[in-house]
Amino acid sequence: MSPSCFPISGQEREAFCFPNTVAVTWQPSLLDTSVRVEDPVKLATLLGGSKLYGNDLLVPLRELILNSADAIRARRVLDTDYKVTEENRYPGRIDITLESIPGSDDHYVFVDDDGIGMSESVMTGPLITFGKSFWTDPTASVLFPGLPSDPRFHPSGRFGIGFFSVFMISNEVAVTSRPADLGGRGEYKRKVLSFRAGSASRAELRDYDRSLGDSVPGWVSTRVKLRVSPAVFQSVHHHGSGISDTRKAFASYLTRLVLPLDVHVNVRTPEGLQTHKPHYSEWNADKLGEQLLTGEWSLDSIPTSTYASQLSLLTPIEAGGRLLGRIALSIHTGERCLVLKSVGGVLSKAPEDLDLFGVIEVSPDTAARAAGGLIADEFQMSLWARDQLGRIAELRLEPEEIANAVVAASRFNVDITNYAVVPSRAGNLSISSIVEAIAKSQIIAIPYTGGPPNQQRTLVYEVWSEHAKVSPKDIRSNYVILYNTKRNHRNRFPVIAAGETILWSGQYFFSCLLRACQELSSNVICVDQHRCNLGVYDREASERERLRKGEALLLDSYTIMHSDHPDRKRFDGELVWSSEEKE
């Protein structure tokens, strides 16, 4: 069979010939490659509910509170009649009402606000468009020119998912809203958007009509009404046994949840009213301290003197007129941190990975509003930490309290040389006192823990010998052995090296110590000694730890000494630093 050819574009050109092919005329095809969602309702149900938020049945109320708060913040920027006054420094109001339904165990929950409100186009557009936040939608710029970019406006809504969480707890949802009358532009009619069978039902939009049972207070811009089962408010942990106690616990939880919020919140139940009055930036230190030590977020108690010092250190962090936190470096010795993280004005449960005391604003790490990074940038936090260390130097604190504060400061790019205090068997030592010990021909041993090359080596709190976990303070030795405090692992303070490379920064205790040694003398060295014989176990024999008193302990350690020290030959490890060299 002879080769077949095909013409290109219907013109006589050089033919492209392919053996054993059929002659065809090629024409380009225009394909729609846009992403399509075949079942958006199903997607919203899956990703806007428990799959995203877990089984926390109070998440929908948190999301509605934040939506209301954003609407109020927007109105503060846009409405000239919505002004800050001496009597009302935080204009705006959110009411949450729990109302029993006669003849049923179910309740109605109403979330009302006097924020910016919604027009019909917003209620039928961004509100029910999954994954599209109104504040980032072009509609916001059209309706409110300049608002999204106004430096005074910081909405918490970013993902356009929060509203759909209501279907986790309710199949009967109604949203009633009207645009707020901004600057006397005229009265707007209320509209009602209702879902009668959850997110799978067809949304119905109609005019507000009292003859149909609609009843919304005149001050309200937006109301969200949910029918919920008792499981919603029973999900709050409480110590009472009846429905009355459960509803009280529900109200207490919500007022606690909004502790950092810059909006008045009223929570009404059949048992009464509980309120949140903003703002923590203006509370006296005693009131803020009480809030840190009570409620579901209650943490370890601390001594009276330490508590008083912590309160005196509370300092606001601000940028561009925006409050980013009111915090202090933590000086207490408890295992947990007394810091509350605020995401958009509500508390976020997150690992306590900050050695701070107070309230700090963080950005949402995920659409579920898990606490992410600090909103304050590195430079702002560094300035704040330096100020804190200066304040701490003026207080009469215990050495261990100072050590805790320095550890907390070390993560914020601040030089800790003049403040660092390190535990040893001889007590807490400053860098200058360690340098003095070296000048008197003492050897400084710094046992470390660390994995394979390129992993961090850190100053130890407890280390594993051949038989058991041992604290350096249980070692009797001729050397000055330094060790870590239990809480220091979270920060940069105890970090020594990345792999075998020493990390040089004022944030790291070890590099600060070596620099101070360099100023002392030109013949100070540091040796990385594998299985260094630091001394003997100095406690009574322990069957559990399988150690005998007087047993030698061999630990990986950095040792610092004069190069001509009589015991230098005992340390045949790698020379990793000399005061004659520059880092």
Identity of the amino acid at 288: L
Residues in the chain: 583
Q: Is 45 within 8 Å of 128 (Cβ atoms)?
A: no
- 3-class DSSP string for 511-539: HHHHHHHHHHCCCEEEEEEEEEEEEEECC
* β-strand pairing of 107-113 with 222-228: antiparallel
pLDDT at 1: 42
DSSP for 322-361? Answer: EEEEEEEE-----SS-EEEEEETTEE--------EEEEEE
Run means of pLDDT, 10 residues per run, the chain, 583 residues: 38 38 43 43 52 70 93 92 84 96 95 95 85 80 87 77 82 93 68 85 88 91 95 70 79 92 96 94 91 58 81 93 92 74 85 79 67 85 95 90 89 91 86 93 90 74 63 84 72 84 90 91 89 84 69 88 91 90 62
| Rounded Cα distance, 420 and 494, in Å | 11
Structure-derived torsion over alpha carbons of residues 218, 57, 245, 95, reported in degrees to the nearest 10: -20
pLDDT at 353: 64
Q: Among 190, 200, 191, 192, which Cα is nearest to 170's?
A: 200
Dig out the tokens for 262 from the structure.
Answer: 């810059």
- 3-class DSSP string for 176-219: EECCCCCCCCCCCCCEEEEECECECCCCEEEECCHHHCCCCCCC
Q: Among 531, 550, 543, 403, which Cα is nearest to 463's?
A: 531
H helix or E strand, kind and range, residue 18: strand 11-18
pLDDT at 148: 85
| Rounded Cα distance, 202 and 290, in Å | 47
Q: Which residue has the tokens 């429905």?
A: 243
Q: Is 71 within 8 Å of 91 (Cβ atoms)?
A: no
Residue 290's DSSP bridge partners are: none
Residue 175's DSSP bridge partners are: 193, 224
DSSP for 278-309? Answer: --TTTS-HHHHHHHHTSSTT------HHHHHH
In a 13 Å sphere around the CA of 54, the CA atoms on its Cβ side amount to: 8
Dig out the tokens for 528 from the structure.
Answer: 């990385």
pLDDT at 481: 92
Strand spans (E) along 33-92 = none
pLDDT at 23: 43
| Rounded Cα distance, 92 and 113, in Å | 7
Dihedrals phi, psi of 298, to nearest 5 degrees: -60, 140
| Rounded Cα distance, 581 and 583, in Å | 7
Instruction: Work out whether the CA dihedral 240, 241, 242, 247 comes out positive or negative.
Output: positive
pLDDT at 486: 65
**41-276, superfamily in CATH?**
Histidine kinase-like ATPase, C-terminal domain (3.30.565.10)
DSSP for 421-457? Answer: EE-BTT--EEHHHHHHHHHTTPPEEEEEEE-STTSEE
Query: How many Å from the N-terminal Cα to the C-terminal Cα in the chain?
Result: 78
| Rounded Cα distance, 214 and 535, in Å | 81
Identity of the amino acid at 153: F
Q: Which residue has the tokens 């100023």?
A: 519
Q: Is 494 within 8 Å of 512 (Cβ atoms)?
A: no
> Which residues touch 171 (CB under 8 Å, ≥6 apart)?
195, 196, 197, 198, 201, 227
> Which residues touch 449 (CB under 8 Å, ≥6 apart)?
457, 458, 460, 463, 556
pLDDT at 34: 42
Cis peptide before 279 (omega within 30 of 0): yes
Q: Among 271, 266, 212, which Cα is nearest to 238's?
A: 271
Dig out the tokens for 560 from the structure.
Answer: 């610092």
pLDDT at 8: 36
| Rounded Cα distance, 216 and 113, in Å | 11
Environment class of 139 (CB within 10 Å of its CB; exposed 0-12, middle 13-18, buried 19+): middle
User: Domain residues of the chain, as ranges?
Assistant: 41-276, 285-393, 419-578
pLDDT at 240: 52
Q: Among 445, 431, 448, which Cα is nearest to 480's?
A: 445
